[in-house]
Each structure stands twice: as structure tokens, then as C-alpha cells.
Amino acid sequence: MSRTNHQLRLAQRPVGQPKPTDWDHVEEPVGDPGDGEFLVQVLHLSIDPAMRGWMNAGRSYIPPVEIGAVMRAAAVGRVVASRNPGFAVGDHVSGTFGVQEYCLSNGRGVTTVDPALAALPVHLGTLGLTGLTAYFGLLDIGRPQPGQTVVVSGAAGAVGSVVGQIAKILGCRVVGIAGGERKCRVLVDDFGFDAAIDYQSEDVRSALRRHAPDGVDVYFDNVGGDILDAVLTRLARGARIVICGAVSQYNNTEPVKGPSNYMSLLVNRASMTGMVVFDYADRYAEGIAQLAEWLAAGRLRSLEHVVSGGVAAFPETLLGLFRGENLGKLVLTVVDE
Ligand code: NAP
């Protein structure tokens, strides 16, 4: 069967906020799978803040997307042709398929997903990399103990909403930091956080004094910048800070400014540790099994913010992350089955 692929390829490296012209729309025929390959029709794309970093040249935890290459994206899709015995036509699969409608794969880094376990977008969020980031970052680096105070920023997003809920399952007091009254209400009413701070209308430092009177034992940082600096002033002795991301800094045109309150680490015998979810690849199955169990038991709620419009809507959808338009995991649907 002849099929046409629509793709977004990186045209140039953005300066500051990405623009639609930073990508080229390319249309090309879809090739047939070779021996050991299979063809995936992409159904849903994961939209991640990290995509902004992948567009920059330079050393990071993963190589940059090359100019002319298909924009990197995690996705879920369905196998529509196969010459690989491990993947059958009709299987639902998850992998780094890119911002395109079809992807030829040899199976490396691809896993099958069970749509009966949860809707496909959930496999990009709570049962995908963002859920695993929350799980391993909090448990392995944050190491919260029952009764301790856990603060998480970007709290209404994909990673943050799962971090806060896991901390509640573990018996912690949980304070979320998010933008806007609606998100803060959802954190408390729907996700069961003990308190929420709207960083757009409240002074984070004084709000923390109210909501974390004994100090912050674990801070899970998704945003960096001024919010990290504010939390540093409220650490409890022996606090652990998980540096998961710094979304407030990703579109900077100036070099990132480090936290000025870092001496609080010394005073409080605290630590600040970076984490990258890929380092836990050999434990993903363990993380997904636990997250799936909590989901099935109703102890964990998964929220997806699903946008339609396919590959052409990618640039505008990505910018929505930096405007805080998403509540929960942002997913762009290419084909709704
Ligand atoms: P997300 O939180 O679902 O979406 C991004 C959110 O960031 C927005 O909804 C917005 O929420 C907030 N934001 C945007 N600009 C901001 C600013 N200037 N200041 C404060 N908040 C801002 O995204 P996610 O996928 O869950 O990712 C969260 C963080 O985890 C990111 O930093 C990402 O890079 C990181 N991450 C790290 C790993 C790892 O392995 N280390 C893996 C996955 C993700 P508000 O409306 O609340 O502002």
C-alpha cells in the first residue's frame, strides 16, 4: 500500500522561544519495512519541555537533534506492517518515533503497550517517561519519609502531579507550586495535596513559611530560577533537592543564572542532585508495574491534556507548555483511533 508521511524536520536552531519557521514541513513517501523492521503509524505525540533543549547544539545528556533531522519525540502508535517477529501488525507500541505520521523502526527502544491497561495517552504520561521520572526521582533521590514535607514545582504538570500524589501515598505532607488559581485548586481538590502555592499571585517564600512551617525535607524542582531560590531559603536540616528540570530557563537567551541562596545547602547539610530518567532504564518495568497498581487501585489519578491537530500543530502545541496551558500531561494527537 502506498502511504505518504508528513514530518517536521529541524530547519534551524531557535534563539529564545521556538518559531514555526524553526521546522520544515516535509512530505515524502513511506518506505516498506526491510528485514527485521516494522512500520509504525504514529497516533499520539508526547510534548515535553526537554524538546526545547534537544534543539540546541552542544553537550547534554542526549545528543542534539541535527539540522534536517526529524524532530525527536516520544510517541505511541500502531504497527501497520512488520518484518520483525517481535512486533505484529496491530500491536500498540511506544518509542521515540519523532514528529511524523509514520516511522520505520528496527525495534530498538520500542516497547509494546497494552491499551486495555490505560488509554494510549496515559502510556506517554503516568505510565510513560514522565511517570517514571516522578517515581524514580522522588523515591531514589528525594527519599521522602512518612510525615516529612515534600514540595514540588510545576506541580500541575505531567511529572509534578505524579510526584505529589506519590508523596501523599508515602504519607508525606505535600505542597505544590503552580501557576494560577485553577491549577492550585485542582492540586488540592483532585490530587489531594495538602496545600498549593500560586507563584503568579503569591510570594513563594512567605507562602512556604505558612505551608511548610517545619521546613522542606524534599524539594522536587521542575522549574529552577526564582522558585528554586525561594525554596532554598526554607530547607529543613538534611533536605534533599531533586533537580529534575528548569523549565523557566529553557528559552533563555542569556546564560542560566544559578541559585544565589545555595549556601542554605551548607547550613542545612542538604543536597541537590540532578536526575535523568534514562539512567533507570533497567528498572522501568518495576516503576510501571507500581504506577499501574496505584492507578488501578484509584490511589493515583492520571490527567492528560490532549490536543488535536496532528503534526502541523506541533510548534504551537510545544509553545503552550511554556505558557502553562496544560494541566497534566500534554499530548498531541495525530490520529484518534
Ligand atoms: P509539565 O510540567 O507538564 O509542563 C510544563 C509546565 O511548566 C507548564 O504547564 C507550566 O506550568 C510550567 N512553566 C512553564 N514556564 C514556567 C516558568 N517560567 N516558571 C515556572 N513554571 C513554568 O512538563 P513535564 O513534562 O511534566 O516536565 C516537567 C519538568 O520535568 C521539566 O523541567 C522537564 O524538562 C523535566 N523532565 C525531566 C526529566 C529528567 O529525566 N530529568 C524527564 C522528564 C521531564 P504553570 O502553569 O504551573 O507555570
pLDDT digits (tens, 9 = 90+) for 154-213: 999 999 999 999 999 999 999 999 999 999 999 999 999 999 999 999 999 999 999 999
pLDDT exceeds 80 at position 67? yes
Query: What confidence score (pLDDT) does residue 39 get?
Result: 98
Spatial CA neighbour of 333 closest among 303, 304, 311, 302: 311
pLDDT score for 143: 98
In a domain, 295, yes or no: no
Q: Taking 90 as the threshold, does the pLDDT of residue 73 lie above it?
A: yes
Clarify whether residues 255 and 163 are in a common domain: yes
Q: d(Cα 168, Cα 300) in Å, to the nearest integer?
A: 10
Residues 139 and 198 in one domain: yes
Average pLDDT over residues 233-252: 97
Are the C-beta atoms of 68 and 62 separated by less than 8 Å?
A: no
Cα of 157 from ligand 1 centre, angstroms = 6
Q: Does a structural domain hold residue 151?
A: yes
Q: Can you tell me the distance from the alpha carbon of 120 to that of 77, in angstroms, rounded to the nearest whole number? A: 9
The values of phi and psi at residue 82, to 5°, are -150, 135
Q: Does one domain contain both 154 and 262?
A: yes
Same-domain pairing of 102 and 151? no
- Write down the mean pLDDT value for the chain: 97
Cα of 239 from ligand 1 centre, angstroms: 22
Residues 71, 87 share a domain: yes
Q: Is 328 helix (H, G, I), strand (E, B) or coil?
A: strand
146 plus 271 within the same structural domain:
yes
Tally of CA atoms within 13 A in the half-sphere of 31 that contains its CB: 9
> Nearest Cα to 55, choosing from 94, 23, 103?
23
Per-residue pLDDT reduced to its tens digit, 266-311: 999 999 999 999 999 999 999 999 999 999 999 999 999 999 999 9
Looking at the structure of the chain, the number of domains it has is 2
* CA 50 / ligand 1 centre spacing (Å): 9
pLDDT of residue 166: 98
User: Taking 90 as the threshold, does the pLDDT of residue 337 lie above it?
Assistant: no
Nearest CA residue ID for atom 1, ligand 1: 157
Contact 259, 291 (CB under 8 A): no
pLDDT higher than 80, residue 1: no
CATH number for the domain including 183? 3.40.50.720
In the chain, % of residues over pLDDT 70: 100
Share of the chain residues as helix, strand and coil, in percent rounded to the nearest 5: 30, 25, 45
Q: Percentage of residues in the chain with pLDDT exceeding 90?
A: 97
**pTM of the full structure:** 0.98
Has residue 2 got a pLDDT over 90? Answer: no
Asked whether residue 220 is domain-assigned, the answer is yes
DSSP classification of residue 281: G
- The answer on pLDDT for 258 being more than 90 is no
pLDDT for 256 equals 84
pLDDT given at position 219: 99
Tens of pLDDT, residues 4-42: 999 999 999 999 999 999 999 999 999 999 999 999 999
Q: Identify whether 166 is part of a domain.
A: yes
Does residue 143 sit in the same domain as residue 114? no
Q: Which atom of ligand 1 is nearest to the CA of 156?
A: 47
Closest by CA to 184, choosing from 169, 201, 168, is 201
Residue 202 lies in a domain: yes
- Alpha-carbon distance of 288 to 122, in angstroms, equals 11
Q: Dig out the grid coordinates for 312 from the structure.
A: 502541523
**How remote is the CA of residue 63 from the centroid of ligand 1, in Å?**
20
**Residue 288 parent element (H or E):** helix 284-296
- Distance from C-alpha of 40 to C-alpha of 105, rounded to nearest angstrom: 7
Residue having the nearest C-alpha atom to atom 9 of ligand 1: 324
The pair phi, psi for residue 75, each rounded to 5°, is -160, 165
CATH code of 84's domain = 3.90.180.10
Decide if 292 is inside a domain.
no
Residue 305, CA distances (Å) to 50, 130, 185, 221, 320 in order = 17, 14, 17, 21, 11
- The reply to whether 72 and 113 lie within a common domain is yes
The reply to whether 88 and 176 lie within a common domain is: no
* Contact present, 334 and 43 (Cβ < 8 Å): yes
pLDDT for 127-147, tens place per residue? 999 999 999 999 999 999 999
Q: Is 332 exposed, middle or buried (0-12, 13-18, 19+ CB in 10 A)?
A: buried
Quick one: 74 and 137 in the same domain? no
Name the closest-CA residue to atom 31, ligand 1. Answer: 245
Ligand 1 centroid to Cα of residue 319, in Å, is: 12
110-126 mean pLDDT: 97
- pLDDT for 162 equals 98
Answer yes or no: do 112 and 148 share one domain: no
Which atom of ligand 1 is the closest one to the Cα of 225?
19
Q: What is the pLDDT of residue 304?
A: 98
pLDDT band of 255, cuts 50, 70, 90: confident
Is a pLDDT exceeding 90 seen at residue 257?
no
Between the alpha carbon of residue 289 and those of residues 92, 292, 323, the distances in Å are 18, 5, 33
Indicate whether 50 belongs to any domain. Answer: yes
Ligand 1 centroid vs 169 CA: distance in angstroms? 22
Phi, psi of 151 (to 5 degrees): -115, 135
**Quick check: 330 pLDDT over 80?**
yes
Task: Kindly state whether residue 297 falls inside one of the protein's structural domains.
Answer: no
Separation of 88 CA from ligand 1 center, angstroms?
35
168/105 same-domain check:
no
- Residue 149 belongs to domain spanning: 129-278
pLDDT score recorded for residue 77: 98
Report the residue among 17, 55, 129, 159 best suited for mutation to probe ligand 1: largest number of ligand atoms under 8 A from its CB. 159
Separation CA 98–CA 11 (nearest Å): 15
Mutational pocket test of ligand 1: of 17, 60, 136, 222, the residue with most ligand atoms within 8 Å of the beta carbon: 222
Please name the residue ranges forming H helices in 144-283: 158-169, 181-189, 204-211, 225-232, 263-267
Q: What is the pLDDT of residue 336?
A: 87
Residues with CB under 6 A from ligand 1: 48-50, 129-130, 133, 154, 156-160, 178-180, 183, 222-223, 244-248, 275-277, 321-322, 324, 326, 330
